[in-house]
Structure formats: C-alpha cells, structure tokens
Amino acid sequence: MEHPAYHIIHSGDGSDSVGIHGTTISFHSTRGAFTESMQVFIENGLKHYIERHRPVQLNILEIGFGTGLNALLTAQVLSGQELPARYTGIDRYPLPEEIFDRLNYDAFTRATGLYKPLMKAPWNREVQLSGGLLLQKIEADLVAYQPEGVYDICYFDAFAPDDQPELWTPGVFRKIRSHMSEGGVLVTYCSKSMVRKTLIESGFAVEKLKGPPGKREVVRATAVSGSSGY
C-alpha cells in the first residue's frame, strides 16, 4: 500500500470516518463508525476485560491507530474509573492533521476535549494525557514491528484481510499473542473463518459475538493458558 490520499465519510450513525481515494476502503463501518468502535472494541474488549479481571492498571495495544477513535473512547471510559492505562497505537501511515481536524468526534464523546490533544500528541514518544492515559503512538509497519511489554487488550483494527492479507498472518498473531497477559483479549471486527482459524493456531480461544449493524459477527480471542502461540 502506497501512502494513501484520504477523504471524509459521513457514516450512518452521524459519526465521521475516513476513506481512501480511488478505493472502497474505509476506516470504519459506513453504517456507523462510533457504533462499531463502541461495540467491537470498547464493549467486547475494554469493558469485558475490566469486568472479568478487575485490573488496577491496563496495557492496551492498538493495531491501526487511524483516526484515534478507539483511543478516544477508551480514554473516555477510563477517565470515569480512575484506572491508569498505557495505550500503544501502531500505524504505518499517521493520519494528516488536515483530515483529523475535520472529524466530528468531539460531538460523540460528550465534548471531553480529549480528541485534539490525543491526535496532536507527538509520535514515537510517551505522552501523559488528562484522564489517566499514557499514550504512545508508534509509526511502524506491523509486519516488522516488535512489541515490547505485556498487553491485556489488543484492538486489532487493520484494514480487511482482502486488502492487506500480510497483516492477518500466523506470524503477526503469534507475535502479538506472545506479548499478551494470561486471559488477555484481542478483539477485531473481522470474523472470517480463515482469521478465526489463524487466531486459534496462534494460541487464542476464539468467540464469535454479535456484530454491529451491517455485520453479523465479530470476534473476541482470549489468550489461552499454557499456550504462547508458538
């Protein structure tokens, strides 16, 4: 994929998303960007993990930082819970300011004022944001990226396997699995059987969950005891 040119999309629930010129690729479901992020990543991933494990701190990895919508919604949930979190977002093509400046996400996050600081935070450096999120955005290609530390939650939000098959391989999932805590969860919007099979082979127990509008099923993969994926 070359460095893409972008345009704004108005998705079905009123929240904006981003499309890539000359393709049908979008950063979120066109039926609803906010709705998709809330269900696939926040409800199935973040809130599920907190309810089940009652952690005192969290380590979150996002594959495909993009518009920052998942990070923003995470910051909003955590700011009400006094739960400190380290959030590492990987992206090969950081979104230009002239695009993220035009997204209407403040309106979807009770105008917390968190969005611009999060997006304007420098890349490749840790930045403490108000609300308790220690953010590190890393400009890197997932294929070559070597995770550091141990993650409780992974938001796997790469473009679809048909568009970027190199990001949905056993090598990538095993690499992530080997940096996840016991019971840690990887959540993704893609429930293709090939993806579920690859996740299982990489050391995850896979559940299919009801998807947001326009998507029958989505996936939660839990790091299974006794398997490091190798």
Among positions 35, 61, 91, 100, the unique one binding ligand SAM when judged by CB under 6 A = 91
Per-residue DSSP letter, 35: H
Token pair 């919508």: residue: 69
Distance (Å, whole) CA 93 – CA 175: 21
Among positions 61, 118, 142, 176, the unique one binding ligand SAM when judged by CB under 6 A = 142
Select the residue whose beta carbon is closest to ligand SAM and give its number: 66
Cβ at position 130, least distance to ligand SAM in Å: 20
Closest CB to ligand SAM among 67 and 222?
67
Size of the site for ligand SAM (CB under 6 A): 20
Among positions 29, 35, 70, 74, the unique one binding ligand SAM when judged by CB under 6 A = 70
Cβ at position 201, least distance to ligand SAM in Å: 21
The per-residue b/e assignment along 89-107, b for 16 or more CB within 10 angstroms, e otherwise, is: bbbbbbbeeebbeebebee
Cβ at position 163, least distance to ligand SAM in Å: 9
Stretch that binds ligand SAM, among 112-120, 153-161, 171-179, 180-188 (CB under 6 A): 153-161
Distance (Å, whole) CA 10 – CA 53: 36
Q: How many CB atoms lie within 10 A of CB 150?
A: 14
Distance (Å, whole) CA 206 – CA 96: 35
Residue 80: both structure tokens together: 């009400």
Distance (Å, whole) CA 169 – CA 214: 25
Per-residue DSSP letter, 129: P
The verdict on 158 binding ligand SAM (CB under 6 A) reads: yes
Cβ at position 83, least distance to ligand SAM in Å: 21
Token pair 């999932």: residue: 173
Closest CB to ligand SAM among 97 and 182?
97
The verdict on 194 binding ligand SAM (CB under 6 A) reads: no
The verdict on 157 binding ligand SAM (CB under 6 A) reads: yes
SS3 204: strand
The verdict on 27 binding ligand SAM (CB under 6 A) reads: yes
Site residues for ligand SAM per CB under 6 A: 1, 27, 37, 64, 66-67, 69-70, 90-93, 141-143, 157-159, 164, 167
